[in-house]
Amino acid sequence: MITLPLDEKTARSLKLGETVYLSGPVVTGRDEMHLRAMSLPDESIPDDLKGAVLFHCGPIMSRRDDGSWAVIAAGPTTSARMNSVEAGFIRRFGIRAIIGKGGMSEEVSEAMRETGCVYLAATGGAAISLAEGLSKCKGCEWEDLGMAEAMWRFDTSRFGPFIVAMDSEGGSLYRNVTESLVRDY
C-alpha cells in the first residue's frame, strides 16, 4: 500500500512486476485533457496536476441530487493514445505515476527514467472493481471536454491492484513481452 502523493524516492523504489495499491489523491486525464493542459500557461494549471498520479481513464459519472458526483465505473483507457504528448507532460508537471493499460512508448519510458515516474498497469475493463477504490470525487476541471475527457479529481483508498509495468529505471514488462513474442505463422 502506497500513500499519495508519491515522492521521487518512493517512485524510484518500485520494482518491475510488483503489485501495488494506492491511497490518496489521483486525477484522471485522456487525450483532450493533455492537450488542454499543455496549451495553458502555468498559472492556469490546477494545483492537483503538479506531481500527480495520473489515471488514464474516462469514467462514467452520475450527478447526485445534492450536486455531488458519484462514480459508476472507472477502468483504464489505452495509454498509447497519449504517447505523443506524454513525455512532455510528465516533464512539465512532474507526474509521478501513470495508471493505464497497454503501456507506453520508449520516449515516455525515457521521460519516466529521467524524472522518476512509474507506469502502473490496471486490468483493462475492470471498471467496477477499480471504482471501489475511488472513495470520493472531489469534482472536475474542464467539464466542457465531456464526461470522458474532463479531468476528474478523486480521493482513493486501497485503489488497485496495479502492476508496476514500467519502472523508473527504463524497465518495461511490455518491452520484455514484445521482444520475446513468438509469431508462429
Show which residues are catalytic: 34
Q: Taking every pair of C-alpha atoms in the chain, what is the biggest distance, in angstroms?
A: 58
| Coil vs helix vs strand at 164 | strand
The residue type found at 60 is I
**What residues numbered 7-46 form the site for another protein, per CB under 8 A?**
17, 19, 32
User: How many CB atoms sit inside 10 A of residue 72's CB?
Assistant: 12
Cβ(89)–Cβ(40) below 8 Å: no
- Which set of grid coordinates corresponds to residue 152? 476528474
Q: Does 170 bind ligand SF4 (CB under 6 A)?
A: no
Measured from the CB atom, is 34 or 115 closer to another protein? 34
Rounded-to-integer distance, Cα 63 and Cα 18, Å: 36
- Which set of grid coordinates corresponds to residue 137? 470525487
Q: Does 125 bind another protein (CB under 8 A)?
A: yes
Measured from the CB atom, is 124 or 170 closer to ligand SF4? 124
Of ligand SF4, another protein, none, which one sits near residue 43, judging by CB under 5 to 8 A according to partner kind? none
Rounded-to-integer distance, Cα 58 and Cα 82, Å: 13
Measured from the CB atom, is 17 or 124 closer to ligand SF4? 124
The residue type found at 17 is G
Q: In the chain, helix, strand, coil percent, each to 5?
A: 35, 30, 35
Instruction: Out of 74, 87, 117, 166, point to the residue binding another protein (CB under 8 A).
Output: 74
Cβ(142)–Cβ(27) below 8 Å: no
**What residues numbered 81-140 form the site for ligand SF4, per CB under 6 A?**
124-125
Stretch that binds another protein, among 47-55, 90-98, 134-142, 160-168 (CB under 8 A): 160-168
Stretch that binds another protein, among 39-47, 97-105, 108-116, 134-142 (CB under 8 A): 97-105
Measured from the CB atom, is 78 or 84 closer to another protein? 78
Contacting residues toward ligand SF4, per CB under 6 A: 75, 124-125
Contacting residues toward another protein, per CB under 8 A: 17, 19, 32, 57-60, 62, 72-75, 77-78, 80-81, 101-103, 121, 123-129, 146-149, 161, 163, 165, 173-174, 176-178, 180-185
